[in-house]
Amino acid sequence: MGINISALSSLSEFTCDVLIIGSGGAGLRAAIEARKMGVDVLVVGKSPAGRGNNTTIAGGGFAATFTAAEDNCKVHLDDTLAAGGNLNNRVIADTVVRGAGQQVSDLESFGVRIVKKSGQVLTSPVPGHSHPRVVLCEERLGAGFTLPMSSYATKIGVRFTDNILITQLLVSDGAAFGAAGVSKDGEPVVFLAKTVILCSGGLGQIYRNTDNTPATTGDGYALALAAGLPLLDMEFVQFYPTGIGMHGNRLILYETFVFRAGARIRDAAGEDVLVKYFNSPNEMTRDRISRALMQEISQGKGIDGKLYIDLPQIPPEVMTKFARLLPKGVPPNERCFICPTTHFTMGGVVIDGSGRTEIERLFAAGEVCGGMHGSNRLGGNAITEILVMGTLAGRNAAEAALNLKISKPQKQVRGALDELHSQAARSGSITSKELRKVLKDTLWQKAGIIRDAQTLAQAIDEIKILSRESQQIGISSSHDLWQAFELANMLSVSEVVCQAALERTESRGAHYRSDFPHQDDARWLQNIIVRRSGDNLELTGRAVVS
């Protein structure tokens, strides 16, 4: 028996100048910048503002260059392009690295406490960066950014509404006029706005092993596809090498404990794994370590499918300095079992250097966007991107809103509400939880760190089967309804990842094909663009934006 449809009869409607979908770092930075322009800003999120998103749990640092002669924006850009396999949108990447330094003083004005020494910003080294350039907040976690930012945004008049899942972008005649969604209580909600900014984060929850927050179900990518927007670089999913817990939901920061403190990663026989794969610490980027560890595990050299970090290898005086950065419950004098885990999505919505999408009045910023990172992201560049591009998207969306009026596309609103009622009326016997588990296992086993044509094709077939089975999901509560929409998004974006990974017949950055183990610049120095065409996906190549 389905959910009581009469409970969905009441409709909440909000209006604003700028609607921001997502209340993580990108959404908050966009909101602050837009509000500075004097417009009415409303942020809608699945979780309370500044909480429950990936920025909140991220390492509290971002890459920025200042005025040192040996390090500058060009050097930062070169490092970023090299890590990205030269698939980065160079306009976006250049914009981000040039805008990074300004974010330090901006964040301090929002109440973020930046780590300094003798009055100067202190920077830390991270693998892949040729110089120490990662700026840290004192809390050393992303909440040190998001909580002060959300407080500041509230103080200056940004409005927030949370516990809302956006189910559809309202688009008419090629322009965005808002969004429709459903609350945790099952109540339909419509947001009408002059401009919209999509800041909905990544897709880590499509994989069994992930450190992403539970809300990270790929919603923004699915919304964009359904609205007719193209995605690019979706085959490039970054895996962090040192996840702990049953499904890698927490991280041992290898940049700190291996790269800086001197810990060793060992196999079941106690052998140092990394010395077999790397000649210098600077080569130890996330993609390379993750692949090395997974190769060791697949060869049966682990312990119950895991390797371990030998923390006692770290000298006591060094561990004293870093011990507080260990996850809660991890003792500093024991070995800790690890396995790679899904961490970040390099691909996403196609935008230009100002945060604009192909749909008029619709902007985007943060992990939901592609282009900045190419085939692999350097540590510290994620928060840099959300800050700089969030700033630009917020400013440009606000400027556009000043000359627009709010409209209500009746047909699209009615269609979104009809879809909500249709989903709520389902009375099948399958649960979203069952299908979600199968999907996550499928992606991890067949479209994870090491891929090939056979397993990717199998994954695509299994996703299509799950999509058909999802039509038999039963809805008996508002929770079931929310879960069904999330599963639909996960299935949609999972197929995109697998199709793009199957299309790219080479290995580059975070995308590794065991049947095509080498980088092929002659054929693949281009981005893969994906669009939805009815029930099918269309994949085309596009020259890298330079």
Token output for 190: 């419509």
Query: Alpha-carbon distance 542 to 544, whole Å?
Result: 6
Name, in order, each residue with C-beta under 8 angstroms of 212's C-beta and a sequence gap of 6 or more. 54, 202, 203, 204, 205, 342, 343
Buried b (16+ CB within 10 A) or exposed e, 359-395: bebbbbbbbbbbbbbbbbbbbbbbbbbbbbbbbbbbb
Name, in order, each residue with C-beta under 8 angstroms of 183's C-beta and a sequence gap of 6 or more. 12, 163, 164, 165, 189, 478
Under 8 Å between Cβ of 162 and 46:
yes
- Give the pLDDT of residue 175: 97
Under 8 Å between Cβ of 339 and 266:
no
3 state SS of 18: strand
1-5 contacts at long range (C-beta below 8 A, 24 or more positions apart): 1/427, 1/474, 1/476, 2/424, 2/425, 2/426, 2/427, 2/474, 2/475, 2/476, 3/186, 3/424, 3/425, 3/475, 3/476, 3/477, 3/478, 3/480, 3/481, 5/421, 5/424, 5/425
Query: Alpha-carbon distance 338 to 211, whole Å?
Result: 12
Q: Please provide the DSSP assignment of 77-109 as one string.
A: HHHHHHHTTT-S-HHHHHHHHHHHHHHHHHHHH
> Count of CB atoms within 10 A of residue 40's CB?
18
Largest CA distance in the chain: 69
Question: What CATH number is given for 238-344 in this structure?
Answer: 3.90.700.10
Q: Can you say how many angstroms the Cα of residue 228 is from the centroid of all Cα atoms in its chain? A: 20
Starting at the edge strand found earlier in the chain, the sheet holding 123-124 runs 59-63, 134-141, 123-124
- Give the pLDDT of residue 324: 84
Query: Alpha-carbon distance 386 to 62, whole Å?
Result: 10
Query: Alpha-carbon distance 208 to 55, whole Å?
Result: 20
Indicate the burial class of 458 (C-beta count within 10 angstroms; 0-12, 13-18, 19 or more).
middle
Nearest of 148, 266, 171 to residue 228 by alpha carbon: 171
- Give the pLDDT of residue 301: 95
3 state SS of 367: coil
Query: Alpha-carbon distance 232 to 268, whole Å?
Result: 39
Token output for 451: 């891929």
252 phi, psi to nearest 5 deg: -90, 120
Nearest of 289, 334, 329 to residue 311 by alpha carbon: 334
Helices (H), 127-188: 143-155
Query: CATH classification of 14-236+345-401, choosing from 3.50.50.60, 3.60.20.10, 3.40.50.1950, 1.10.3720.10?
Result: 3.50.50.60
- Give the pLDDT of residue 11: 79
Beta-bridge partner residues of 73: none
Cα 225-234-59 angle, rounded to 5 deg:
110
- Give the pLDDT of residue 2: 47
Under 8 Å between Cβ of 214 and 203:
no
Q: Among all chains, which residue has been given the structure tokens 């966007």?
A: 369
Residues of the chain below pLDDT 70 = 1-10, 67
Q: Dihedral of CA 49/54/59/63: which sign?
A: negative
Query: Alpha-carbon distance 365 to 393, whole Å?
Result: 6
Going from N- to C-terminal start, the domains of the chain cover 14-236+345-401, 238-344, 410-543
- Confirm whether pTM is higher than 0.85: yes
> Count of CB atoms within 10 A of residue 327's CB?
13
Do strands 12-21 and 41-44 pair parallel, antiparallel, or not at all (unpaired)? parallel
> Count of CB atoms within 10 A of residue 515's CB?
12
Q: Which fold has domain 410-543?
A: Methane Monooxygenase Hydroxylase; Chain G, domain 1 (1.20.58)
- Give the pLDDT of residue 1: 39
**Tell me: the pLDDT tens digits for 442-495?**
999 999 999 999 999 999 999 999 999 999 999 999 999 999 999 999 999 999
Do strands 175-183 and 250-251 pair parallel, antiparallel, or not at all (unpaired)? unpaired
Query: Alpha-carbon distance 305 to 149, whole Å?
Result: 40
* Cα first-last separation, the chain: 55
Indicate the burial class of 295 (C-beta count within 10 angstroms; 0-12, 13-18, 19 or more).
middle
Q: Please provide the DSSP assignment of 278-338 as one string.
A: -SSGGG--HHHHHHHHHHHHHTT-SBTTBEEEEGGGS-HHHHHHHGGGSPTT--TTSEEEE
